Structure 1
Amino acid sequence: MHALPWLHPDRVASLQAALRDRILVIDGAMGTMIQRHGLDEADYRGERFASGYDSQRDTPAGGGRDLKGNNDLLLLTRPDLIAGIHTAYLEAGADLVETNTFNATAVSQADYGLEHLVRELNFEGARVARACCDAVAARDGRPRFVIGVLGPTSRTASISPDVNDPGFRNTSFDELRDTYRDAIEGLIEGGADALMVETIFDTLNAKAALYAIEEAFDARGGRLPVMISGTITDASGRTLSGQTAEAFYASVAHGRPLSVGLNCALGAKDLRAHVDTLATVADCHVSAHPNAGLPNAFGGYDETPEEMASVLREFAQSGLLNLVGGCCGTTPEHIRAIADAVAGVPPRRPHATQALAA
């Protein structure tokens, strides 16, 4: 195979070597950090969308709707802010940063009338993260990696949103596959080192993403590492679509993942048993990036960096982890404490090592 400009075998080799050597640290929450900046509607619109029109695409944008809260859009209107958050996590000890593309799909951007931006948002998400990783790595000589994030979307392909019509669906496998394909192309072109299908509450949504990933790889004649992270939604120990951690792994293992893990919904203590299950059955690396505890009455998160790091250190010492980080409510302070807590603890040894990239 001829060298492909979007493939970087040296970075993939560095990632594989680092995973053999130590537990790698993923960054923390993006939304939590954005909220700290107290942005208003003008910040989200910037100059490009100030008039309700996309001045660069010569097309309507927003349809009169507020754009505040569309955190992915900040990649186009406040890339400096997103870059600052990435850099703060890298300087706190993160080895990998996730692109700010959690809702950069047509399904989710439809809420803002910005479906036409999917590929651009994903490209910019990877490009901004890549620049931050390269800048920090150039200063200290330690490689950093970009995870291209594919979020779950705001719809579910397996469950009806109408209790009175169980057969109804407000999205389809093909619709999800198509928008994921656009997102994937943008992430690859922007410089992602790996792709992560994350916060999976519906395995059928995830399968649409994995199908689109394989289509993109086949069309391009090469592969990037693929990471998969599900969400146990409550004390039932199951995803929203009804699977245990073990069943979830069995359903997605065909994607030849670099890692399978769990994130969001629960704090580390409540996630422990389910990560243990994955560590027992998975023949790939295992990741965990839980919330900073459960939300309080005001929707905030109270678990301190020290409390969270102490719990995750026990995960590591018990041989459960290859990658660890934080989700909702976590900050660079949490990531620094987690990085310190797992430093020197040997990584979990997968049952088998799978080929990650052609």
Structure 2
Amino acid sequence: MRLHDHEVLILDGACGTNLQEMDIPASAWEGREGCNELLNLTSPATIVALHAGFVEAGAMVLETNTFGANRIVLEEYGLADKVEALNRAGVENARAAIGGKPGVYVAGSIGPGTKLPSLGHIEVDDLAAAYEEQIRALTVAGVDALIIETCQDLLQIKTAMTTCFATLESMGRDIPVLASVTIERTGTMLVGTDIAAAAVTFEPYPLFSFGLNCATGPLDMESHVRYLSRNWPGRISCVPNQGLPEVVNGKTCYSLGPETYAREMKRFVTEYGVSVVGGCCGTTPAHIRELVRTLAGVQPAHREVRA
């Protein structure tokens, strides 16, 4: 996966919220509703169709349906023995959706899990072992990149990144690693770390890009993106939700339309030099299609990073 300084890399949109709108056979869940990763094996046509919608929209990178496909999360569903199979199937489904279309890559999605080490939910060694197992499975399956996302705990993401680079080195593999943190409306990650502390912590790692995803829409990310624009030496990513979630008639809804979403993302590219963009919760193929149209011919702004 390559990206020149004058290019913008466009990721796909949401997985979970789009699956909620799809007609999935009840039998596919096997009584484990909420375990989206299980669908990689039980309803691969559903996952291929999900990915295909974003390929048709013009996404350059598909994230695998493996956000929670690590042993820690899968144990909660009685699926701890399916780590390798679910991650492999996740990659295969993304490849099937791409078909022979050139210039579309597969990034292995690695989520934070459900237990945070800083809060004492899990020991670091146990978390690292779970990450290593998933990273190996995704890498062997042939991903073009790995994306460690929705990170909420400084110790969690340090564990993930240290494990990731050590595992890739032990495997003799050199593939891009993207990382993004989730900043709440409070201005910090879930356990209280702000974007400045996160950036300083992660600068030594050889990341392909670093930025933000989830939690909020673009507007609530602007101050954090501005900080990275002035202080982060590498590529910046921004993968927001489709605005802030609202509950309407008992259902979670996201109100930011494709045109507004794409317009705000274009501003981040042209004003702050963001070069990796995509969509998180609520974003549909329509959002990515409009993003692709709006960013056609657009180059990231030149940045003067403070020494």
Q: TM-score range by the shorter chain?
A: over 0.9
Which whole-Å deviations, capped at 9, do the CAs of 1:217-265 have from their partners, x for residues lacking one? 221123211100100012x211112111121111122221000010000
Output the CA distance in 1 between the equivalents of 2:296 and 2:276. Answer: 12
After TM superposition, the structure 1 stretch with the greater mean CA deviation from structure 2, 35-44 or 336-345, is 35-44
The aligned counterpart of 1:80 is: 45
1:5-44 map, 5 Å: 12=1, 15-16=2-3, 19-44=4-29
Q: Are 1:333 and 2:298 an aligned pair?
A: no
Matched, 1:231 2:182: yes
* 1:180 matched residue in structure 2: 131
The answer to whether 1:135 aligns with 2:100 is yes
Match of 1:113 in 2: 78
CA distance in 2, matches of 1:347, 1:31: 29
2:277 paired with 1:324? yes
Displacement of 1:346 after TM fit?
0.8
Q: C-alpha displacement at 1:170, in angstroms? A: 2.1
Q: Deviations over 1:189-236 (max 9, x none)?
A: 1111111110001121111111221221221123211100100012x2
- TM-score relative to the length of structure 1: 0.81
- The aligned counterpart of 1:104 is 69
| Unaligned ranges ≥5, structure 1 | 1-11, 46-65, 138-142, 160-168, 353-358
Partner of 1:259: 209
- Of 173, 177, 182, which aligns to 1:222? 173
Instruction: Choose from 288, 291, 312 the match for 2:238.
Output: 288
SS state of the match for residue 147, structure 1?
A: strand
Alignment-derived partner of residue 309 in structure 1: 262
Quick one: distance in 1 between partners of 2:165 and 2:262? Answer: 36
**Residues in 2 aligned to 1:324 and 1:285: alpha-carbon distance in whole angstroms:** 11
**Mapped partners of 1:147, 1:249: distance in 2:** 22
Q: Report how far residue 34 of structure 1 moved.
A: 0.7
CA contact (8 A) 1:40 1:68 kept: no
Give the Cα–Cα distance (whole angstroms) in 1 for the partners of residues 72 and 191 of structure 2. Answer: 19
CA RMSD across the alignment: 1.6
Question: What is the match of residue 156 of structure 1?
Answer: 116
Moved over 3 A (4+): 348-352
How far apart are 1:348 and its partner, in Å?
Answer: 4.2
Secondary structure at the residue paired with 2:299? coil
Question: Which residue, out of 37, 62, 67, partners 2:32?
Answer: 67
Structure label with greater radius of gyration: 1
* Native 8 Å contact 2:24 2:46 kept in 1: no
Conservation of the 8 A alpha-carbon contact between 1:158 and 1:202 = yes
Q: Is the 8 A contact 1:226 1:259 kept in 2?
A: yes
Equivalent residue, structure 1, for 2:298: 345
Matched, 1:205 2:190: no
How far apart in 1 are the matches of 2:154 and 2:110?
Answer: 13
**Preserved CA contact (<8 Å) 1:284 1:350:** no
Once the 2 structures are TM-superposed, how far is the Cα of residue 174 of structure 1 from its aligned partner?
A: 0.7
Indicate conservation of the 8 Å contact 2:272/2:303, yes or no.
no
Residue correspondences, number: 302
After the TM superposition, which of the residue ranges 262-271 and 300-309 deviates more from structure 2? 300-309
**Residues 1:175 and 1:348: Cα distance change in structure 2 (over 3 Å):** farther
CA contact (8 A) 2:13 2:283 kept: yes
Moved more, 222-231 or 327-336: 222-231
Q: Shift in Å at residue 312 of structure 1? A: 1.2
Structure 2 unaligned segments of length 5 or more: list them.
Answer: none
Which residue identity does 1:308 align to in structure 2? Y
